[in-house]
Structure 1
């Protein structure tokens, strides 16, 4: 099973949930989760017993987020199209043009590298690795979402 399919299954993304997740508020508020998760993990010793409840709340928000917003009136925006492109990548892989596959694989490789760098920095409490990994993750995730917009436009024949 591909990672994307595993993630979609883990997050229980039904048709209704995907439709709600196309709401730009859902996309942009998920960006807020990452810095908060990093802060929670960085200050885990200082938070002591509060670490676990805060971590559970943050991880719960990641899961609940796509379910908390209404389906948008239209999807004529960057954030919505990024979600629609991601759906194509996950559920209609055969429609993805080959020139996107190479770049998507490169992005996934970079996401993996920056994730390891960030978590190593968090584990060893090394601020430069943590910050470099976090910045790399945010920029690479944004690149991925932008690629999903491009994929959606190309596959659906949209002229934006």
Structure 2
């Protein structure tokens, strides 16, 4: 099982929760998670062990967030389609995706992983520039990945009825 599949399993992402996560409020509000985690870990210099409290709250936010918002009434927006594309990406073992999407997805995830090393080093050694640069690169790679997932979803959904059923139009009830 790959890291992404483990994360999905850990998050308990059922089809219903994926529908809720496709709400653009869910996707956009998650963008704040990494800066909050960074601040929580950095604040250990001011509040010591109490820094675990804001850190735990930020991690809890990552789990609660996809469950917090209702399914969107319309998925014709960038963030919703990015989330739908992530579902397609995670299902790539069962339904193969085009090579150009696979290659770019792996490249962007590698960039994010390398930036994560810099970010963590910055947090450990309290180097503000390493922390900020690493965090910025992680976020940039993630947003670029989401953009690729929009493209992946657009390429895949016309030929796969299950994927096409995820697209919602205003006034339509939620698909499974």
Normalising by the residue count of structure 2, what TM-score does the alignment of the two structures yield? 0.86
After TM superposition, where is structure 1 displaced by more than 6 Å over at least 4 residues in a row?
Answer: none
Offset, 1:99? 1.2
Residue of structure 2 equivalent to 1:124: 125
Q: Within 1, Cα distance between the matches of 2:43 and 2:49?
A: 11
Unaligned 5+ segments in structure 2 are 159-163, 165-176
In the TM superposition, what is the alpha-carbon distance from 1:33 to its structure 2 partner? Answer: 1.2
C-alpha deviations, 1:47-84, integer Å up to 9, x for none? 22431221111111110000000001010000000000
Mapped to 1, the partners of 2:104 and 2:52 lie a distance apart of: 37
Alignment RMSD (CA, Å) = 1.2
Note the alpha carbon deviations across 1:13-50, whole angstroms, 9 max, x for none: 01110000000000000011111111111121212243
5 Å matches for 1:7-156? Answer: 7-93=7-93, 94-156=95-157
Deviation at 1:156, TM superposition (A): 1.0
Aligned length: 158
Q: Give TM-score scaled by structure 1 length.
A: 0.94
**What is the CA–CA distance in structure 1 between the aligned matches of 2:78 and 2:39, rounded to whole Å?**
28
Distance in 1 (CA, whole Å) between partners of 2:81 and 2:133 is 28
Q: Distance in 2 between matches of 1:73 and 1:92?
A: 26
Structure with greater proportional helix content: 1
d(CA) in 2 for partners of 1:146, 1:132: 21
